[in-house]
Amino acid sequence: MSLGIAIIKLRNRRRGLLCQSGVWKTVGGVGNVSYQSIGNFTGGMNGANDNSNAELITAWGGGCPGNNGTFLVGSVNGFGVVAQEINNNMDYAKVSTIEFWVPAYTGYTIFSDIYACGAANSTFYVMATVFQ
């Protein structure tokens, strides 16, 4: 199975471009997109796209109190890393943000474990953009 996913932005309109088995099709667009809060998490989370269309997962945070480093990693269906942002520079405050596509009826994982802080102290927030 070949799977390629991209995002197209045209005049502030978000549309998904999904390739399955070598065939590309657009999904979503203005008027048929909804946003879903998945929640706040510490250390890691497992989620699932239970919809019949692709979802764009956005996670941000990945920091912990007293530590300016950030760490967020996303994977889809156990495939491995599909999105990551890691910054161990302690010199300034920051927030990591990752985005990745999850095909219909597919699971995903987001993990955060900051150097010198640990997963138990690393928090992040997740939301889904659901294309109808």
H helix intervals, the chain:
none
pLDDT of residue 21: 63
Strands 33-42 and 123-131: antiparallel
Q: Spell out the domains of the chain, with CATH numbers in brackets.
A: 34-131 (2.60.120.340)
Q: What is the pLDDT of residue 109?
A: 96
Burial tier of 35 (Cβ tally within 10 Å: 0-12, 13-18, 19+): exposed
Q: Which helix (H) or strand (E) element contains residue 117?
A: none
Q: What pLDDT score does 17 carry? A: 61
Question: pLDDT tens digit string along 10-42?
Answer: 444 555 666 666 666 666 555 567 788 999 998
pLDDT (0 to 100) of residue 31 = 55
Which pLDDT value is given to residue 6?
Answer: 47
- For 106, the 3-state DSSP assignment is strand
Ranges under pLDDT 50 in the chain: 1-12
Q: How many CA atoms lie within 13 A of 19 on its CB side?
A: 8
pTM value is: 0.74
